[in-house]
Amino acid sequence: MSRKMMPLVLVLAIPLLASAQGPRGHGGGPGRPSSSLELLLKNQEALALTAEQAAQVEALQAALEQKNAPILEKLEALRPPRPPPDSEEMRARRQQVEPLITELRANDDAAYQEAELLLSDTQKARARELITQVREEHQRRREAMHQRMQNRQ
């Protein structure tokens, strides 16, 4: 490839790569765990979901994403700038974030309760195990991150 073509290729490739990552905040990620429904869909083989069950869970997930979109926008607006603000401003932001996180959790719990109605008893038990494992791992990572932040101060 010639040196003259390289900038053009980069200009065309970067938006493509960025769009391949999906919308920010969806599908879990470092800052946000996957929804319970996303976990069901990611583990549909382990749960032995039928095609009909998977389609119904996908529809519930789409509705959950739509319901959570305005909350996620509010959370994004509260994200601290770089460099981080002083501790008083951070405390104020955290107080604004807490009810939004509570609302996201409530939405996720309600959507999962709907999805659980679609599952057999065996599937429910396995789904609960998977969700518990993922939530515990996410909690451990959060605690480790908070510990690292405390050690820096």
Q: Tens digit of pLDDT for each residue in 29-56? A: 445 678 999 999 999 999 999 999 999 9
Tell me if 135 is assigned to some domain. Answer: yes
Tell me if 71 is assigned to some domain. Answer: yes
Q: What is the CATH number of the domain that holds 96?
A: 1.20.120
Separation in Å, CA 137 to CA 29, 102, 120, 127, 133: 13, 19, 26, 15, 6
Tell how many helices (H) and how many strands (E) occur in the chain: 6, 0
In this structure, what token pair is assigned to residue 116? 């659980």
User: Using one digit for the tens of pLDDT, what is the confidence trace for 105-149?
Assistant: 999 999 999 999 999 999 999 999 999 999 899 899 989 988 887
> Residue 38 is part of which domain span?
30-152
CA gap 43, 37 in Å, rounded: 10
Could you tell me the pTM of the whole model? Answer: 0.72
pLDDT in the model for residue 34: 86
The number of domains in the chain is 1
Residue 148 has a CB neighbour count (10 Å cut-off) of 9
